[in-house]
Structure 1
Amino acid sequence: MESFAELPVEEKFKIVSGFLLESPPGEVNEVYNDLKVLMGDEEEFERGIKPALQQHNNEQYIVATLPEKNNKVIVSKYGQIGEIEDDLYLDPRSQQTFKFEHVRHTVTDVQPYPVDSAIEPLRAAIDTAIIEYVTDHYPNGVSSVYSTDDNSTLSITIVDNKYNPHNLWNGRWRSTWVISPESNELKGTIKVNVHYFEDGNVQLNASKEIEITASPNSEEPADKAKAYAKSISNAEDEFQGSLNESYIDLSENTFKGLRRALPLTRHKLDWDKILNYKIGQELANKAT
């Protein structure tokens, strides 16, 4: 079997790109730096890894901050303008475009991008309603609402990150909702990723696809937006509740069925003490 160093460059980038795309929440920089050392050639690595880094940032809803208004916007395919190589994104809230540097997460070349769309009043109303919902339910949540070119659908993206590396865990919540205003149908995808790495490496990846229909009181943008936000809130509350129930069941039933909570002695094993006994025994054997 060939070693990593002997592989063709294309095969190397295929491998390291896979590692990068599977980076746990908040840890992509550490993975990126380790992969750079593994590849050796820094300039070649930065050129070759860029497509995977762009894909990662788009899929993981990395948050960009526009400098002048300090406005936060989610980097995703929904706000992408032109080809992915252009690194050009839209902030529909401030009606501006910007270039996003995917390695350092910096924003440059901010330009006005006036929106002339019949669906803009509804998009803006939904944006306001979702901001209120996210503020109430997510400690560090960010949201963006986009309309399509043909005005047939609107897309809502929500992300909240909780990074706690000092306590050895990081987590991310992402949800996406695509709305058809004519039918008031919402199609959503919720994804939760948590990485716990105290004395081990445990990852939680949970996701759910949801289809619901909202019932607005009227066709007014504010009424429709309020109904959409309420439907999203109910669906996400239900998903979070089901997660909580699942982990209670895992703790109380599933894990107990896999192994004993304590050995037969009913006392936890002190592995450090056992190691010291073993070292002491080895020294005693050498002395004799």
Structure 2
Amino acid sequence: MASKQSTVASFVEAAPPGELSNVVADIKALAPSEVQSLEPAFKKYNEEQYTTVKLPGSSETVLVSAYNSLGNGRYFDSASQTSFEVDHASQKASSPQQHPTDSQHADLIRSLQKSFSAAASEHFPSSTVGIFPAESHSAVALLLVANKYSPQNFWNGRWRSTYILNPSSNSLTGTIKVDVHYYEDGNVRMSTSKKVELSSGGGSAEAVVREIAKAENKFQEELNRAFTTLAEGSFKGLRRQLPVTRQRVEWEKIGGYRLGQDIGGGRTK
């Protein structure tokens, strides 16, 4: 049986996009003694969800992930060539320091940062990208996160992309993840992902980003078609459009109905 601590931690790690603070508030109310032990869960959540933070004195957001972790709670950003400390519970950055990109692929990383940022701004209303050395500096990781929060309409969503480019073999593989939560008068969550193997287009930054854009557009089109099929097929099959009487219920009179008589049109004994 899972311990109380691991159970509470699982709630943090599974928090829907933009709702971590709500989950923590529930934990404080239901299991206040466990809050102090949640630092590892906060760290795992922030790294897996590509949480974004603002560096002190900057309006730009940067990513938190395992790919740009320096250990001991510090991370780095290739674009600004800065390292910073992260408080995982509050999702705040502090103590920025200079951190030049130390990689044999430094020039490629700078080119990818420029091209990938431009493509992301074209396709997403709000997004943050990060380009980091990967696999012991033999490869380059391209990360993207786009968040859209609409709590006034009871939904939040997150798009995450992870691509690994190996310049020596010109291989490009990735995973796209989408997580959307609707919670008006109910609780519906969609979490889906797709793995892709792409052509690097010769290895130039522009060609790599062009292939990524094609793959992401295709995935979005597949999602759109799936939603249309669900709405017109499976979801409609979940309930009748009309009651068994084939007559619409007059909801304003529902308080005066007598079961089997007014609804069924007959007399009850």
TM over 0.5, yes or no?
yes
Q: After TM superposition, what 4+ stretches of structure 1 lie above 6 angstroms from structure 2? A: none
Q: Which residue of 1 aligns with 2:65?
A: 76
What's the offset of the Cα at 1:194?
Answer: 0.6
% identical aligned pairs: 37
CA distance in 2, matches of 1:192, 1:51: 24
What's the offset of the Cα at 1:261?
Answer: 2.4
CA distance in 2, matches of 1:17, 1:271: 44
TM-score between the two structures when normalised by the length of structure 1 = 0.84
Higher alpha-carbon deviation: 142-151 or 48-57: 142-151
2:206 to 198, 211, 226: 226
Instruction: Kindly indicate whether residue 18 of structure 2 is the aligned counterpart of residue 18 of structure 1.
Output: no
Counterpart secondary structure, 1:186: strand
What's the offset of the Cα at 1:266?
Answer: 5.0
1:249 to 229, 233, 236: 229
Q: Which residue of 2 aligns with 1:4?
A: none
Q: Which residue of 2 aligns with 1:176?
A: 162
TM-score between the two structures when normalised by the length of structure 2 = 0.89
Structure 2: stretches of 5+ with no match in the other structure: 259-269
Counterpart secondary structure, 1:189: strand
Q: Contact 2:129/2:145 (CA < 8 Å) preserved in 1?
A: yes
* Superposition CA RMSD, Å: 2.0
| Distance 1:225-1:258 versus aligned 2 partners, 3 A rule | same
CA distance in 1, matches of 2:122, 2:237: 39
Counterparts of residues 1-288 of structure 1 (less than 5 Å): 11-41=3-33, 45-82=34-71, 86-148=72-134, 150-216=136-202, 224-265=204-245, 268-269=248-249, 273-274=253-254, 276-277=255-256
Counterpart secondary structure, 1:51: helix
Structure 1: stretches of 5+ with no match in the other structure: 1-6, 280-288
Counterpart secondary structure, 2:177: strand
What's the offset of the Cα at 1:22?
Answer: 1.2
| Corresponding pairs, count | 258
Q: Which residue of 2 aligns with 1:3?
A: none
Q: What do residues 19-77 of structure 1 show as CA deviations (whole Å, max 9, x unaligned)?
A: 11111111110001111221133xxx333111111101111111011123433211000
What's the offset of the Cα at 1:210?
Answer: 0.7
CA distance in 2, matches of 1:249, 1:109: 50
